[in-house]
Amino acid sequence: MEIIIRHTPAEVAQVAASLLEPFIRTGATLGLATGSTPNPTYQELIRRHREEGLSFAKCRAFLLDEYYGLPASHEQSYHATIRRELTHHIDIADENVHSLDGAAVDPAQEVEDYEEAIEDAGGVDIQILGIGTNGHIAFNEPTSSLRSRTRLITLHPRTVADNARFFDSSDEVPRHALTQGIGTIMEARHLILIATGPAKADAARALIEGPLSASCPASALQLHNNATVLLDEAAAANLEGLAYYKAKEPYWPVGETYSC
Ligand code: GLP
């Protein structure tokens, strides 16, 4: 696991965009996350698209998850969110932006079809991840099997509370979601997990330094061969090995563009 720490979320976004850029240039299949954390990275990618000609035309994308019970047209569906935050501002074809259908009548069939679509696309080349305050990735809540596949899940009360800020009241937050499983996510060839802000400090520590455990779904990244964790100082504040992670960072190429 590579750990990169920057002072601010804006600096983290620069590094994340630079890690993603070579993949985008080669028309990779991107795994996209929603939530507020990746938004500065998406804004930087949009800037590079507009000002530097970074093209997404050959890319396709798969979203991690979706609220179950929200139609795609709902403004808080992840289908709508990713379009608002990223894909409507770049040159990726809309039909190449895939997501789970939160209104699916047959969720079991929906998740099976989604797994198949990812496989048919040749798998995800690089997956962006955020992390929940309880250590979840996508919507894989604590106790999710580390080998789980895409499925319907009940949201943890803490997740409902955390995500209530996007809705008029917590009563409106869906209690269920469709989510790629941890096993599904782990099949992506590269993972980039971004965590910023003090609310993520405990989860970041559990992910990096805690035991590999279904109690912290993100700890599964410890088993991935190409996982990069990008943190700002606030999210890195509780790491015991902070000095070591900072010391080994020059291992990374210096400059704007990272080659992976
Ligand atoms: C949701 C999403 C996750 C995301 C998490 C954190 O639960 N399903 O993919 O990582 O929220 O969101 P935020 O980045 O807004 O803190």
The tens place of each residue's pLDDT in the chain, 260 residues long, gives 999 999 999 999 999 999 999 999 999 999 999 999 999 999 999 999 999 999 999 999 999 999 999 999 999 999 999 999 999 999 999 999 999 999 999 999 999 999 999 999 999 999 999 999 999 999 999 999 999 999 999 999 999 999 999 999 889 999 999 999 999 999 999 999 999 999 999 999 999 999 999 999 999 999 999 999 999 999 999 999 999 998 876 455 444 444 33
The answer to whether 137 and 185 have CB atoms below 8 angstroms apart is yes
Distance in angstroms (rounded) separating the CA atoms of residues 226 and 195: 17
**Tally of domains within the chain:** 1
Ligand 1, atom 3: nearest CA belongs to which residue?
138
Give domain status of residue 182, yes or no: yes
Q: Examine the residue annotation and report whether 136 is marked as an active-site residue of this protein.
A: yes
Give domain status of residue 257, yes or no: no
Give domain status of residue 147, yes or no: yes
- The residue ranges of DSSP E strands in 94-150, in sequence order, are 97-98, 126-129
- The residue ranges of DSSP E strands in the chain, in sequence order, are 2-6, 29-32, 60-63, 65-68, 97-98, 126-129, 151-154, 176-179, 190-195, 227-232
Ligand 1, atom 1: nearest CA belongs to which residue?
35
Distance in angstroms (rounded) separating the CA atoms of residues 6 and 235: 10
Q: Examine the residue annotation and report whether 91 is marked as an active-site residue of this protein.
A: no
Give domain status of residue 226, yes or no: yes
Q: Examine the residue annotation and report whether 141 is marked as an active-site residue of this protein.
A: yes
Residue type, 70: L
Give domain status of residue 258, yes or no: no
Measured in Å, residue 131 CA sits from the centre of ligand 1 at 6
Give domain status of residue 254, yes or no: no
Give domain status of residue 252, yes or no: no
Distance in angstroms (rounded) separating the CA atoms of residues 186 and 43: 26
Neighbouring residues of 113: CB distance < 8 A, sequence distance ≥ 6: none
Give domain status of residue 49, yes or no: yes
The domain spanning residue 208 has which CATH number?
Answer: 3.40.50.1360
The answer to whether 139 and 169 have CB atoms below 8 angstroms apart is no
- The whole domain housing 43 covers 2-247
Instruction: For the beta carbon of residue 53, count every other beta carbon within 10 angstroms.
Output: 8
